[in-house]
Amino acid sequence: MRQLGVNEESETLPSCFELQELTQRLYFRDMPSTARILPHYTYEDYLLWEGQWEIIGGIPYAMSPAPLPFHQFVAGNIHSVFRQALKSEHCRCRVYQPIDYKISEDTVVNPDLLIVFKPITKKFLDFAPALVVEILSPSTALKDRHMKYGLYQNAGVKYYLLVDPDLKTIEKYELSDDLEYVRNEDLSSFEVTDLCIVQVDMSGIWE
């Protein structure tokens, strides 16, 4: 069995910074030399691992340490806000906290929160959700702002929210007609589907 994240030539585990740099080169610049340095993992490998992981472009990322308490507090409040809003509009959409979102065989992520507009029939989500929320932390901010931004945009996720608990800010990005994210300052309205437009008040998520 291959060892997780190990350099097959030196048998040493690359640092987080090395993984980050190599991932960007592999995933965004498609450099064959990088592919020879790191093993390439898939969803089948992912199922065998212990602990919390994500795979982006075949490269594993450990989801540790555990989120800070305030991170989880904010995540729970956002979940409650959207859940109540969807119920009041009698939408059939559902709000989920971290589940496996399988974008491709070598890319599986666990968003902090997402909204889907149809039933999930597999052990993972295999279609684009209507909305994804990522709550920033020092260890994930670069990945959330750059790699995941591109992933969700290319996958067709309509809304992407970046929440910064330290600065107490929310950035809302909406997919345009050109299939590119555009910053939208309106944090109160979300057209989850043509038949489901929800109004939310995000002002109290920090309290």
**pTM given for the model:** 0.81
Establish how many alpha carbons lie within 13 A of residue 47's alpha carbon, considering only the half-sphere containing its beta carbon: 7
C-alpha to C-alpha distance for 51 and 63, rounded to whole angstroms: 8
Walk along the chain (207 residues) and give the pLDDT tens digit of each residue: 444 543 334 344 444 445 555 555 544 455 455 445 678 999 999 999 999 999 999 999 998 778 889 999 999 999 999 999 998 777 889 999 999 999 999 999 999 999 999 999 999 999 999 999 999 998 899 999 999 999 999 999 999 999 999 999 999 999 999 999 999 999 999 999 888 899 999 999 999
Q: Can you give the pLDDT at residue 43? A: 97
C-alpha to C-alpha distance for 155 and 45, rounded to whole angstroms: 22
Please check whether residue 38 is in contact with residue 22, taking contact to mean a CB–CB distance below 8 angstroms.
yes
